[in-house]
Amino acid sequence: MDLLEKIKTLSGKYSEEVITFRRHLHANPELSYQEYNTVRYVSQQLKQFGLSPREGVATTGLIVEVQGKNPGKKSVALRADMDALPIQEANKVPYASKVPGVMHACGHDVHTSSLLGTAKILHEVRDHFEGTVRLLFQPGEEKTPGGASYMIRDGALENPRPSGIIGQHVFPLLPAGKIGFREGMYMASSDEIYLRVIGKGGHGAAPELAIDPIVIASHIIIALQQIISRNASPKQPTVLTFGNIIGEGATNIIPNEVNIAGTFRAMNEEWRAAGLQKIRKMAESIAEGMGGKCEVEISHGYPYLQNNPELTRRIRKAAEAYVGADNVVDIDITLAAEDFAYYSQVIPASFYRLGTANKEKSITSYVHTPTFDIDEDALKIGPGLMAWMAVQELHN
């Protein structure tokens, strides 16, 4: 039996165990930077495999290495995130969240359990490859500044620096069994915009005695869309969305202020900086011109994600060997954001998608929804696929 068939056999053999990991994690979710029980559970499993995890990285993260023959020859990194979301689960399944208002609605339980399976497989075949595979179990992907930035700060990509890093994410737009890839520009940067429009409150029947922040806010929201339609290149994907407006007046009360919150997303760091500057300047100027004031707060989020073309081509070729070329597909860019982008700024990185949908089983809900779930048949593929990618990358 060659190494590919051995890894595929082990992935199938351990799939029920990996599903058990996933269901435990799904039932016991923890929010960003609070993954204390999660990381303890992950560490326990790794130790049972015979591995020696290093805990305390980024506080609630850990790193573990699987060393093959000649471990110093080359290294490659694999990453999984572990945090959940503040969502009340609506699924009626035996492994539903036991924590009110907290749910693994983005599949991080899948990523973590899958990487545990990968660790077990790699440890079992360690005599069949050269080099070292470094596995990163990361906290806080869902909350800025992003656990990836803390992992990097704590040396996750040093001593030695891996030749590249690979990340896997569930994808409910693909059926289980399919794997999606995208070379180059893939995911957007993400910044939060907070506007405090200050006027002067008054009676709705005497607007001349007030400075109406609701009217000012309306002008600002409409005007800022011109930054997208008239300043951003039509060839440059970008979006500005305001999803929250609070102006606590009444039918006959003009409030003192209006608060607005939104998100700005781009796929070019130069345009990102220029767009944010234009947002600030335009909002302040419009408010001043109408007799009010606008305080602009920008919370800088994740950078945009660039999939290294050469690395992506290599792991795509590995995936074709593992699941067959017919099951490997191209995926489009997305304006969603991922803190995996931080890794891509340091070393070659590639972020691919694991299909998890199944229409026949009515498993089609998108991520970040109360009914998100996966076809667990995907966990028969995910662990072995990532192990094979890592081994092939070490060989390359």
- The full DSSP string for 262-311 is EEEEES-HHHHHHHHHHHHHHHHHHHHHTT-EEEEEEEE-PPPEEE-HHH
pLDDT number for residue 215: 97
Q: Give the C-alpha distances (Å, rounded to integers) separating 205 from 178, 234, 235.
A: 62, 44, 47
Q: Which of 30, 35, 81, 83 is catalytic?
A: 83
pLDDT number for residue 23: 98
Classify residue 29 as exposed, middle or buried by CB count within 10 Å of its CB (0-12, 13-18, 19+).
Answer: buried
pLDDT tens digits, residue range 114-163? 999 999 999 999 999 999 999 999 999 999 999 999 999 999 999 999 99
- Kindly tell me if the per-residue pLDDT of 38 is higher than 90: yes
pLDDT tens digits, residue range 154-198? 999 999 999 999 999 999 999 999 999 999 999 999 999 999 999
Q: Give Rg (Cα) of the chain.
A: 24
CA distance 279 to 220: 9
Q: Which residue has the tokens 């997305």?
A: 334
- What six digits make up the tokens of 178? 């399919």
For residue 393, the SS3 value is: helix
- What six digits make up the tokens of 136? 């990163």
- What six digits make up the tokens of 322? 């593992």
Task: Report the pLDDT averaged over residues 282-300.
Answer: 98
Residue 8 φ then ψ, to 5°: -65, -40
The letter for the amino acid at 151 is: M
Residue 330 designated active-site: no
pLDDT band, residue 396 (cuts 50/70/90): confident
CA distance 81 to 33: 11
- Kindly tell me if the per-residue pLDDT of 207 is higher than 90: yes
Task: Report the pLDDT averaged over residues 205-224.
Answer: 97
Which residue ranges form the domains of the chain, and what is each CATH number?
A: 3-188+303-395 (3.40.630.10), 191-300 (3.30.70.360)
To the nearest whole number, what is the mean pLDDT of the chain?
97
Q: Give the C-alpha distances (Å, rounded to integers) separating 384 from 181, 235, 387.
A: 17, 38, 5
pLDDT band, residue 293 (cuts 50/70/90): very high
- Kindly tell me if the per-residue pLDDT of 1 is higher than 80: no
Q: What is the largest CA-CA distance in the chain?
A: 85
Residue 141 designated active-site: yes
- Kindly tell me if the per-residue pLDDT of 286 is higher than 90: yes
CA distance 120 to 167: 17
H or E, element range at 194: strand 191-198
pLDDT tens digits, residue range 319-364? 999 999 999 999 999 999 999 999 999 999 999 999 999 999 999 9
CA distance 395 to 131: 9
Q: Which of 81, 141, 212, 393 is catalytic?
A: 141
